[in-house]
Amino acid sequence: MGSAGVPVVVGLDNGGTSNNATVLTVDGHFLVDGLLEIPSEVRAGPEAAIEALAQALDGALAQTGVPRDLVQAVGLDTPGPASAEGVISSRGSTNFSQPAWRGFDVRGALERRLGLPVIYHNDGNAAALYAHHVYFGADAMNRSSVSAIVGTGLGGGVVESGRVIAGAAGMAGELGHVHIPLNGLLGPDQPEPTCACGFTGDVESVASLTGIERNLLPYWLTRYPDHPLAAEPVARAAKLVRGYGEREDALARDLFTQQAKALGRLFTVAANFTDPHAYFVGGGVVEAAPEFRDWFLATVREHTVLREEQAAVATFALVPDRDMAGARGVAIAALEALRAVPEPRPLVA
């Protein structure tokens, strides 16, 4: 239950099927331990979806016993592509497929519905912010990090001095579309991987579920033609391959080694661009059996080229609590916006 009279911020994580909500006190304590989910209604259009977000906020307050008048601000994250101000791309989005969503100001609409300030990030940035603050704790505002979140696509975020770098158009941290060298990454006679965005040889074309289905699995099945996955439709096989990886299957380990190498090349770019204190990996690929997860992260690290001085101070770690990371990350962002003080202070106690 909420502490009597202590102001709070609320974090709302919007997804294709569910909204998740959390509550964070202004002195840095989360009042929700697990998932608080309700249907997101995004397929029913913007009006229904904004109402569902408002209901998620009301549900979180009811769960924690916090009166509405103690809410100071709200953090919101959604899948992209969207601007830094929370305007859905005019070209639409996988999750926001109805024409009414194109160019829709989801942040502004929620702000008007709630009558409260709403701070927006995309879901990759939100998870990156949460990983950063959980890992560094009281020192978070003095540290930097880069996060790669492997999902259907490749999301992520760049955090500097405890704050997400959004960029001029809100598209900083779109790590999936960074081009990486393919020399030495591809197998014999392997076609250059293509991305749904139109690029060839970006990170997402290798390190994502879409990349597995579109590029990696069709190739690796030619190298292992008798593999059981050859009998499955490729979309289903792509979702099953991680289970084989956990059992140390040769095809799966070759495929995931290729993904880990791609992330290592991405982090090598980051090392020469932002030189962060930490490199975080998250998403389905590491929500796996501990041996596989640890092997994958170690392989990413092995293929990240750092100078001796960088290796001495850099950390590689996993994004924690992925299911809750979005809501918690935007709650932290809302609290940081509220504080807006020149002196760095820890945001999570």
Q: Can you give the pLDDT at residue 320?
A: 87
Q: How confident is the model at residue 173 (pLDDT cuts 50, 70, 90)?
A: confident
Please, which residues have CB within 8 angstroms of residue 168's CB and are 6 or more apart in sequence?
none
What does the pLDDT look like over 267-325, one tens digit per residue?
999 999 999 999 999 988 888 899 999 999 999 999 999 999 999 999 999 998 878 99
CATH of 138-318, one of 3.40.800.20, 3.30.420.40, 3.30.360.10, 3.30.420.10: 3.30.420.40
Residue 14, Cβ density class (10 Å: 0-12 exposed, 13-18 middle, ≥19 buried): buried
Q: Can you give the pLDDT at residue 172?
A: 84
Q: Can you give the pLDDT at residue 166?
A: 85
> What are the residue ranges of CATH 3.30.420.40 in the chain?
8-116+325-340, 138-318
Q: Can you give the pLDDT at residue 84?
A: 86
Average pLDDT of span 319-340: 90
Residue 216, Cβ density class (10 Å: 0-12 exposed, 13-18 middle, ≥19 buried): buried
Distance CA 133, CA 139 (A): 8
Q: Can you give the pLDDT at residue 39?
A: 94
Q: Can you give the pLDDT at residue 54?
A: 98
What does the pLDDT look like over 189-239, one tens digit per residue?
999 999 988 899 999 999 999 999 999 999 999 999 999 999 999 999 999
Q: Can you give the pLDDT at residue 3?
A: 57
Phi-psi region of 178 (alpha: psi -120 to 50; beta: other; left: phi over 0): beta
Residue 342 has pLDDT above 90, yes or no: no
Average pLDDT of span 122-128: 92
Residue pair 5/70 in contact by the 8 Å Cβ criterion: yes
Residue 344 has pLDDT above 70, yes or no: no
Residue 78 has pLDDT above 80, yes or no: yes
CATH of 8-116+325-340, one of 3.40.190.10, 3.60.15.10, 3.90.79.10, 3.30.420.40: 3.30.420.40
Average pLDDT of span 27-31: 94
Residue 346 has pLDDT above 80, yes or no: no
* Average predicted confidence (pLDDT) for the chain: 93
User: Which of the residue ranges 11-25, 83-97, 189-203, 259-273 would you say has the lowest mean pLDDT?
Assistant: 83-97
- For residue 338, the number of C-alpha atoms closer than 13 Å in the C-beta half-sphere is 24
Average pLDDT of span 247-263: 98
- Which backbone phi and psi does 150 adopt, to 5 degrees? -90, 115
Q: How confident is the model at residue 345 (pLDDT cuts 50, 70, 90)?
A: low
What does the pLDDT look like over 8-18, one tens digit per residue?
999 999 988 99
